[in-house]
A and B are shown apart, each in its own frame.
Chain A
Amino acid sequence: MAYLEFDSGGGSTRAIKTEAIIKVVSLFGFAIAIGIFFLIRGIFFKSAVNQVSVTDSFGKLEYSAPYKNTLYESFGFVQEPKITMPLKTTKGYVDTTFLLDSGAVVSTLPLQAAQDTGADLANAKRITLQGFSGVPAFAYLAKITIKIGNTEYELPATFTESNSTTYILGRKGLFDDYTINFNHEQRVITISKRS
């Protein structure tokens, strides 16, 4: 019986080895590319401090806005988590600045805003809110619509006759459905939601 032996030679062995390595690397090429993307994303695509950014794709909604500086007579400049968002009014969406208040139970707007938003106060439930002085102020329970990115979002709100009321976004509705991150180090507020 005769045996036929085939000698591939040194050069051919190296070519096969190189090709094998390339194939192995190519096998995990996608994972490596994704890994590199996530690594450099934090360096090149980071939100700047004075920039509002909205990401609204792939089922992920993220709204980032910088803190705002407010000058107080007694306290000097104070970083305030104020964000400007489109509020639905009878004349369309109007950019409105809200104070994002995790301490507020529900979003609160001045009574005059009811006229702009077209809220029906005569049919709204009337409640009382406690002020600092202990004197109750009436508030009317209704709903408002804001836009986060391109997404319309309806949430409960009270319209209050208290003179000191500003536009406040509170916990009910918004904090239930969105993750809100107050990043004091970066001086940025991020509202995000995954569908």
Chain B
Amino acid sequence: MAENIYERIHNTLTWKRIVTFNLILFLVLIVPISVRLAQQTTENRSSAAEEAPIVIPPPNYPVGTPKIDRVSTFFGKTGDTIVVLGANFGDYQWASRVYVGNVEAPKEAIVRWSNTILEVKIPDGARTGQVWIVTNNKEARWEGSLLLYDVARAAQIGLQKITSQTGNIFTINASGTVKGMIEISYVSEPVEITAVPGINITSQTPSVDSLGKKMKINFEATTSLPSTRTELASYSYPGLGALEIIRAELYDGNGKIIPLFSEPLSIKATP
């Protein structure tokens, strides 16, 4: 009598074979499953640390007139952050505006706004020019110029330390410069600046602002500066605290301002 299909399945698949097959299947799959589980990222979700919404109080502008003491640093590229230091900016931006390189900085460009410190990214469209803020219809302007630069074409200025108390002020790629201005902040005095031959210092004006002492040095060159590294002056000071170039401007024979920057490692001299 011929076996039907059910009898053949029943006779062929014994319990022993079923268990053996499942065991082999387990052994074959256990390795990739284990690897997959081991590599899987564990995700923890919690609502305990949800970000609290920022609450801005209603406008309460300072009574005093806003004032900009310094803009650090005096040069930059689009997207770089500058720090505006002064007073009476208001604790929050509210409806105040800040202009960087002659254009208004959008809200997204404001990194931090406080009563004495603004951190702003140089916005798209900015060019070498002024920095000012308008707070409660009162305006404060920085007396200097924010210099937008391109490393390949801009001149460079810096301080080179020689000893803990002495060093020199130099320029690189400043061809065409016939006059200029350097403002240096310092802690200890006296600070003595001595021009090298070919450079005449026309004025040295010490002053003090809310951040400390500074000295503005105006100079003229008897012949326009070359593009090579050129020493402008030497400095000496008691060697306490740092000397830092907080502002500099170079002008060509037509009175046009020359793009300028300073390497972060040479903008400041420490003892």
A residues adjacent to B (C-beta < 8 A): 31, 111-112, 114-115, 121-123, 125-128, 130, 134-136, 138, 140, 159, 161, 194
Shortest B127–chain A CB gap in Å is: 18
Given A135-B117, A136-B119, A194-B39, 13 more A-B residue pairs with CB atoms under 8 Å apart are A115-B265, A122-B151, A122-B261, A126-B76, A126-B80, A126-B81, A127-B80, A127-B81, A128-B81, A128-B111, A128-B119, A138-B81, A159-B264
12 A-B pairs within 8 Å (CB atoms) are namely A31-B27, A114-B265, A121-B263, A125-B80, A126-B73, A126-B77, A126-B80, A128-B112, A134-B117, A136-B112, A138-B264, A140-B264
Q: Tell me which residues across on chain A come within 8 A of B263, comparing CB atoms.
A: 121-122
Is the CB–CB distance between A136 and B265 below 8 Å? no
State which size class the interface on B falls in: 20 to 34
Q: Tell me which residues across on chain A come within 8 A of B72, comparing CB atoms.
A: 138
The closest CB in chain A to the CB of B268 belongs to: A161
One digit per residue, 1 when the CB lies within 8 angstroms of any chain A CB and 0 when it does not, for chain B 67-96 equals 000001100110111010000000000000
B residues adjacent to A (C-beta < 8 A): 27, 39, 72-73, 76-77, 79-81, 83, 111-112, 117, 119, 151, 156, 261, 263-265, 268
Shortest A21–chain B CB gap in Å is: 17
Give the A-B pair count, Cβ closer than 8 A. Answer: 47
Bound CA span A82–B264, Å: 28
Enumerate the 4 nearest inter-chain pairs by beta-carbon distance, A residue then B residue, closest first: A126-B80, A122-B151, A121-B264, A128-B81
Q: Tell me which residues across on chain A come within 8 A of B76, comparing CB atoms.
A: 126
Q: Tell me which residues across on chain B come within 8 A of A138, comparing CB atoms.
A: 72-73, 81, 83, 264
Bound CA span A45–B268, Å: 52
Q: Tell me which residues across on chain B come within 8 A of A128, comparing CB atoms.
A: 81, 83, 111-112, 119
Shortest B24–chain A CB gap in Å is: 11
Q: Tell me which residues across on chain A come within 8 A of B83, comparing CB atoms.
A: 128, 136, 138
Bound CA span A118–B34, Å: 45
Bound CA span A125–B111, Å: 14
Shortest A29–chain B CB gap in Å is: 13
Q: Tell me which residues across on chain A come within 8 A of B117, comparing CB atoms.
A: 134-136
